[in-house]
Amino acid sequence: MSRYRGPKLRIVRRLGSLPGLTQKQSKKKDRPGQHGKNNEGKKTTEYGVRLEEKQKLKFNYGLTESQLFRYVKEARRRQGVTGLILLQLLEMRLDSICFNLGFASTIAGARQLVNHGHILVNGQNVNIPSFQCRINDVIGVKPKPGSKTLVENNLKNIKFTELPNHLVLDNSKLEAKITNYCDRENVLLELDELLVIEYYSRR
């Protein structure tokens, strides 16, 4: 299935706040669809709750179903808490790192920055948004006026309160270093990652 390109606020109304998808807030409070108002009092099934948590992860990080399942399989393979490892894998994607640094207002915007060749990793140009960054990697901006202006404008409009603990940003150089894996409390998305693991437990 291809990446979602439809109305974003419709997804926000259904799943709640998704900072990686859009910073905008819908004026409408009801769930989308013909029966949105009538579904408020209905109890969601266990499967429905797990599905919604999985959809949050998928839409927030802009992943396809097959991409997300690959990340889940990789998280299962590694030692440790599977849910936390899954979030750390997603947060170490290059587009997620650029978003957390404030280089773009959404993960989709960060993906476009990377695709267009504005981002450097350890001094080398990388144009793959899913590139898996590592600890001690240095993320920078291409030394071109257009690239710098674009990122500087985005940094001025940043809406996050503070930078995550695992990233150190030098604003003067537009350069950041990854010092560690992210902590659970630094993930902006509100979700229960255990339900996502349970959703995929039968596959």
Q: What is the pLDDT of residue 158?
A: 73
Contact 187, 134 (CB under 8 A): no
Residue 3 belongs to a domain: no
Model pLDDT for residues 7-32, shown as the tens digit of each residue: 777 877 788 777 777 776 666 666 65
Question: What's the mean per-residue pLDDT of the chain?
Answer: 85
Q: Which amino acid is at 22?
A: T
CATH of the domain at 168: 3.10.290.10
pLDDT in tens, 74-92: 999 999 899 999 999 999 9
Three-state DSSP state, 139: strand
The predicted structure's pLDDT at residue 139: 94
- Quickly state the pLDDT bin for 130 (edges 50, 70, 90): very high
Q: Helices in the chain by DSSP H: which ranges?
A: 8-15, 46-61, 65-77, 82-91, 94-101, 107-115, 145-156, 193-199
* Residue 64 shares a structural domain with residue 109: no
Examine the domain organization and report whether 73 and 114 are in the same domain: no
Query: Does residue 1 lie in a domain region?
Result: no
Tell me the C-alpha distance between 199 and 4, whole Å.
Answer: 20
CA distance 140 to 121: 6
Whether 58 and 116 share a structural domain: no
Residue environment code for 39-73, b if the CB has 16+ CB neighbours within 10 A, otherwise e: eeeeeeeeeeebebbbbbbbbbbbbeeebbeebbe
pTM of the model: 0.86
Domain harbouring 48, CATH code: 1.10.1050.10
Partners of 169 in beta bridges: 176
Give me 15's structure tokens. 């799943």
Region 127-132 average pLDDT: 93
- Cα 24 to chain centroid, rounded: 16
- For residue 84, the enclosing domain spans 8-89+189-199
Are both 162 and 109 inside the same structural domain?
A: yes
Q: Give the three-class secondary structure for 118.
A: coil
Clarify whether residues 85 and 118 are in a common domain.
no
How many residues belong to the chain? 203
Predicted confidence at residue 66, as pLDDT, reads 92
CA nearest neighbour of 139 among 161, 164, 108: 164
Q: Are residues 35 and 101 in the same domain?
A: no
